[in-house]
Amino acid sequence: MKTVGIIGANGVVGRTLQAEFKKIKTPFEVKLFGRQDEIPQLDAAVFCTDNPDSARLYEQLKDRIGYIVDMSAQFRQEPNVPLVIPEINPHAITQQTRLIASPNCTTTGLVMTMAPLRQFYHLTEVFFCSYQAISGGGKKLLEEFHTAGSLYENNCVPLIGSIQENGYSSEELKGIYETRKILEMPHVKVYPHTVRVAVENAHSLGVTLKAEQDFDLATVIKAWNSFPHLRYSEEIVTPKQSSGQETTFACRLRRDVEDKNIIHYFITFDNLLKGAAMNARQIIELLLEKYL
Ligand X SMILES: NC(=O)c1ccc[n+]([C@@H]2O[C@H](COP(=O)([O-])OP(=O)(O)OC[C@H]3O[C@@H](n4cnc5c(N)ncnc54)[C@H](OP(=O)(O)O)[C@@H]3O)[C@@H](O)[C@H]2O)c1
Sketch the per residue contact string, 205 through 244, with ligand X: x for CB under 6 A, - otherwise: ----------------------------------------
CA dihedral sign of residues 268, 271, 272, 278: positive
Q: Say whether residue 109 binds ligand X (CB under 6 A).
A: no
- Check: CB of residue 49 under 8 Å from CB of residue 57: yes
Residue from the set 42, 44, 45, 48 that interacts with ligand X by CB under 6 A: 48
Q: Which is nearer to ligand X, 12 or 220 (CB)?
A: 12
Q: Say whether residue 160 binds ligand X (CB under 6 A).
A: no
> For residues 256 and 258, what is the distance between their CA atoms, to the nearest angstrom?
5
Q: Say whether residue 247 binds ligand X (CB under 6 A).
A: no
Q: Say whether residue 139 binds ligand X (CB under 6 A).
A: yes
Q: Which is nearer to ligand X, 201 or 210 (CB)?
A: 201
- Exposure of 75 in the CB half-sphere (CA atoms within 13 A): 23
> For residues 243 and 61, what is the distance between their CA atoms, to the nearest angstrom?
34
Residue 190: phi and psi, rounded to 5, are: -125, 125
Give the length of the chain: 292
143 Cβ partners below 8 Å, 6+ apart?
Answer: none
Q: Say whether residue 12 binds ligand X (CB under 6 A).
A: yes
Between strands 203-211 and 123-131, the pairing is antiparallel
Q: Say whether residue 69 binds ligand X (CB under 6 A).
A: no
Q: Say whether residue 173 binds ligand X (CB under 6 A).
A: no
Stretch that binds ligand X, among 27-35, 177-185, 191-199, 210-218 (CB under 6 A): 27-35
- Minimum distance from CB of 111 to ligand X (Å)? 13
β partners of residue 177: none
Stretch that binds ligand X, among 84-92, 110-118, 175-183, 272-280 (CB under 6 A): 272-280
- Minimum distance from CB of 192 to ligand X (Å)? 16
- Check: CB of residue 57 under 8 Å from CB of residue 65: no
The helix or strand, by DSSP H or E, that contains position 247, with its residue range, turns out to be none
Q: Say whether residue 275 binds ligand X (CB under 6 A).
A: yes
> For residues 16 and 30, what is the distance between their CA atoms, to the nearest angstrom?
14
Residue from the set 45, 271, 273, 285 that interacts with ligand X by CB under 6 A: 271
Chain residues in the site for ligand X (CB under 6 A): 7-8, 10-14, 33-35, 48-50, 53, 57, 71-72, 105, 135-136, 138-140, 271-272, 275-276
